[in-house]
Amino acid sequence: MKNIEINTSRVQIPNNNLLIDAYLAQPADEGNFGAVIVFQEIFGVNNNIRDITELIAKQGYVAIAPAMYQRVAPGFEFGFSAEDAGFSQEAYRLGLEYYQQVKYQEIFSDIKATIAYLKTLANVKADSIGCIGFCFGGHIAYMAATLPDIKATASFYGGGITQPSYGEDIPTVNRTSEIQGTIYTFFGTKDSLISQEDNQKIEAELKKHNINHRVFRYDAGHGFFGGFFVDKYPFLAQNPVINREAAIDAWNHVLELFENYL
């Protein structure tokens, strides 16, 4: 795993009359790099999402995390809390409240605006854009995968993919045939939020439409990728859903995905 020097900044992505706050991390050296969009969980672009954005940039990519609650709760974020050994009940309450307000077509619009923004950056290879997302963001990543600009997608325990979501009547999984790039999906077999039936349905659709894909399942619960950061946030080790070994293995597959297709 690389650990190159990076620069980080807060930027705004224009989308018609909306400015989307985003966290940008990119290699400090000059060059042309593939780009990765990082899609948040329900807790906003918090310290965990910024850590992941920086981690990706240190591998030699331009990484950007747009605020997907910009329309309903600009500036919202809840970070890791050592006191709660995770997130507070208030964080869950607010995160779910805002999650229930987002709209499918608005999300799609913001994804496209982020892609357009990346293409304006001189150090980005315009034909090498991918994405990664977790939970809410895992669903958004699956949505983004249906766009032709997205060459590689890592979708972690995406919730609601098999059900109508965000005001739409058609489940996102029904759009699987539109995926043109490669997608890796990651699930925990102990996930209390996403059933094994749901992730098997996703896999069946990927196979049915001959999408270039891989499905990874781990003996872990929802949000298991947090285990990658146990050294930085030791209290995470107290969370029973965390599986550090699963997180490390999944990360290696993410690196494989981006190295091969971006």
| Residues 5-46 pLDDT 10s | 999 999 999 999 999 999 999 999 999 999 999 999 999 999
User: What's the confidence (pLDDT) of residue 59?
Assistant: 98
* Tens of pLDDT, residues 122-136: 999 999 999 999 999
- Which of the following is catalytic: 135, 139, 198, 213? 135
Which residues partner with 35 through β-bridges?
A: 62, 129
User: What's the confidence (pLDDT) of residue 88?
Assistant: 67
In angstroms, the CA 175 to CA 215 distance is 18
* Tens of pLDDT, residues 134-181: 999 999 999 999 999 999 999 999 999 999 999 999 999 999 999 999
Alpha helix ranges (H) inside the chain: 47-57, 89-99, 104-120, 136-144, 196-208, 244-261
Say whether 110 is catalytic.
Answer: no
User: What's the confidence (pLDDT) of residue 236?
Assistant: 78
* Tens of pLDDT, residues 90-121: 788 888 899 999 999 999 999 999 999 999 99
Q: Is the pLDDT of residue 240 over 90?
A: no
User: What's the confidence (pLDDT) of residue 86?
Assistant: 53
Count of other CB atoms within 10 angstroms of residue 17: 5
User: What's the confidence (pLDDT) of residue 234?
Assistant: 81
Mean per-residue pLDDT of the chain: 94
* Tens of pLDDT, residues 58-98: 999 999 999 999 999 999 998 766 555 456 677 888 888 99
User: What's the confidence (pLDDT) of residue 1?
Assistant: 84
In angstroms, the CA 73 to CA 80 distance is 19
Say whether 209 is catalytic.
Answer: no
User: What's the confidence (pLDDT) of residue 85?
Assistant: 47
- Which of the following is catalytic: 149, 191, 198, 213? 191
In angstroms, the CA 178 to CA 143 distance is 10
User: What's the confidence (pLDDT) of residue 78?
Assistant: 86
Say whether 21 is catalytic.
Answer: no
0.85 exceeded by the pTM? Answer: yes
- Which of the following is catalytic: 110, 149, 198, 222? 222
